[in-house]
Amino acid sequence: MALGVNKPILQVTGYQNSGKTTLMAKLIAEAGRQGWTVASLKHHGHGGTPDRPKDYKDSERHRQAGALAAGVEGGGVLQITAAKTNWRLEEILPLYNSFPVDLLLIEGYKRAGYPKVVLIKEPHELELLEQLVNVQAVISWKPIALQQPTCPVFLLSEEERYINWFVSYMRNSLV
């Protein structure tokens, strides 16, 4: 659990166009099938503030998948609208604590230290696994061979396997 947050957090991270939003929507929908309520937060990490309709499409996908609250942050603007010079993830998380949800799924903020799933689309992206902390699972578009995997590794096509992992992981975190 994060400082100031009394609900489990799981991040979905990876490079741009690696499938983060699609995976988030699947996890949010599965959480709903399990009877869990979810809040989501997306980091708009491509520069600037999320002030155009296309900037909200990902958080809107989270909401349509079943997130009780879906927010987006970028360039110092947090859309659950509150603006300041710069938002740190640690400042946003306590706001989410007030939502009546069981868990929080975060898209992005790859450098944050919370438990995370890392999406790998291309071989050069394997560098993320050396740079990031608290990696709980890896989902890869193509088969990869890790020297000594410290967490489960799934192919993107193995949806049933990684969804089952997610359910088990969250059940353990919710106790």
Question: pLDDT for 44-91, tens place per residue?
Answer: 766 666 665 555 677 788 888 988 888 888 888 877 645 567 888 888
The CATH number of whichever domain residue 156 belongs to comes to 3.40.50.300
Question: CA dist 129 to 22, 71, 100, 111, 125, Å?
Answer: 21, 26, 33, 11, 8
Residue 4 inside a domain? The answer is: no
Q: Do 158 and 144 touch, CB atoms closer than 8 A? A: no
Domain that holds residue 123: 9-174
Q: What percent of the chain has pLDDT over 70?
A: 87
Residue 72 inside a domain? The answer is: yes
- Domain total in the chain: 1
Residues 6 or more apart from 64 whose CB is under 8 A from it? Answer: 25
Residue 2 inside a domain? The answer is: no
pLDDT greater than 90 at residue 26? yes
Residue 3 inside a domain? The answer is: no
